[in-house]
């Protein structure tokens, strides 16, 4: 693994990340396997509140690890708050993790069971920090909403129809007027725990909020995500982008709390 090059292959994948990112073996790494019966129900955990109605999506990009939709985060136009969060956190981007086929692909698992894919809505604490980069390495800097994805989804076509425009690593295209609220399941009951980024630099800066109810996407829609490639247009080999998920990490004594 040269420099900060990392991936999901045999030589540069999750088991090799601790060489360049020793925090990979830290005490609050993500994802984890969630055991619902061992989660502590906390009546003080209020509902998650999403104010996305004035969000401004900017572009959709293939960053060589996933497909990412970026948002304007210069003010509090789209924030998540409530639940375990002490402040509103600004929506910065969302991206996905998925498998090669069948039911593997999510990062978090529930009693050892994985879903076909997982959506991450990434937010940062702009009350305490000046930039996303600064928040991304602070213990209470980020809040990521994780949504499992399993069978057909009506709104997802807006994403999958745009995937052909970002087939190659490094491609970016405009993607305006998309409100990610349409990607969310009806109930936002959740598990929450203190964890990390699931890709390098693996900073232990994330308050994870994992929604219990999966959203529905079809195998056909998932297939469109697999038309992306990890490699740039100029490179000769075409490595299909799939299995871009990190396996569950040790809990190391952490408590997972459950909303009602």
Site string for ligand L4Q, 184-223 (x = CB under 6 A): -------------xxx-x----------------------
User: Catalytic residue among 65, 108, 120, 189, which?
Assistant: 65
Least Cβ distance, residue 236 to ligand L4Q (angstroms): 28
Degrees, nearest 5: CA angle 121-54-177: 75
C-alpha to C-alpha distance for 53 and 160, rounded to whole angstroms: 22
Find out whether 98 and 119 touch, Cβ atoms under 8 Å: no
Helices (H) and strands (E) in the chain, counts: 4, 14
Q: Which is nearer to ligand L4Q, 55 or 147 (CB)?
A: 147
Q: Which is nearer to Zn ion, 91 or 236 (CB)?
A: 91
Least Cβ distance, residue 33 to ligand L4Q (angstroms): 16
Kindly give the pairing relationship between strand 40-41 and strand 257-258: parallel
- Annotation marks residue 123 as catalytic: no
Least Cβ distance, residue 166 to ligand L4Q (angstroms): 17
Q: Does 119 bind ligand L4Q (CB under 6 A)?
A: no
Q: Which two tokens stand for residue 93?
A: 């981007």
Q: Does 120 bind ligand L4Q (CB under 6 A)?
A: yes
Q: Which is nearer to ligand L4Q, 70 or 163 (CB)?
A: 70
Enumerate residues 136-175 that contact ligand L4Q by CB under 6 A.
136, 144
Q: Which two tokens stand for residue 172?
A: 């970016």
Burial of 59 (0-12, 13-18, 19+ CB in 10 A): middle
The total of other beta-carbon atoms located within 10 Å of residue 159's CB is 23
Q: Which residues bind ligand L4Q (CB under 6 A)?
A: 120, 122, 133, 136, 144, 197-199, 201
Catalytic positions: 65
């Amino acid at each position: 693994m040269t420099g900060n090059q990392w991936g999901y292959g045999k030589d540069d994948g999750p088991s090799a990340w601790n060489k360049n990112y020793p925090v990979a073996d830290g005490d609050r790494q993500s994802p984890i396997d969630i055991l619902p019966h061992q989660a502590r129900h906390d009546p003080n955990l209020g509902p998650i509140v999403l104010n996305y109605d004035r969000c401004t999506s900017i572009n959709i990009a293939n960053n060589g690890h996933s497909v990412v939709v970026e948002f304007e985060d210069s003010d509090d136009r789209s924030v998540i708050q409530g639940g375990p969060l002490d402040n509103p956190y600004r929506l910065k981007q969302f991206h996905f993790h998925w498998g090669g086929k069948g039911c593997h692909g999510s990062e978090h698992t529930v009693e050892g069971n994985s879903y076909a894919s997982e959506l991450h809505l990434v937010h940062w604490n702009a009350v305490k920090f000046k930039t996303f980069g600064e928040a991304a390495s602070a213990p209470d800097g980020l809040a990521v909403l994780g949504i499992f994805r399993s069978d057909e989804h009506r709104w997802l076509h807006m994403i999958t129809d745009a995937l052909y425009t970002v087939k190659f690593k490094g491609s970016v295209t405009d993607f305006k007027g998309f409100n990610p609220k349409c990607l969310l399941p009806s109930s936002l009951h959740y598990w929450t725990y203190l964890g990390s980024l699931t890709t390098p630099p693996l900073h232990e800066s994330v308050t994870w909020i994992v929604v219990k109810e999966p959203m529905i996407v079809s195998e056909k829609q998932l297939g469109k995500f697999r038309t992306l490639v990890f490699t740039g247009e100029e490179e000769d080999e075409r490595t299909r982008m799939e299995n871009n998920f990190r396996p569950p990490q040790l809990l190391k004594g952490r408590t997972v709390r459950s909303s009602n």
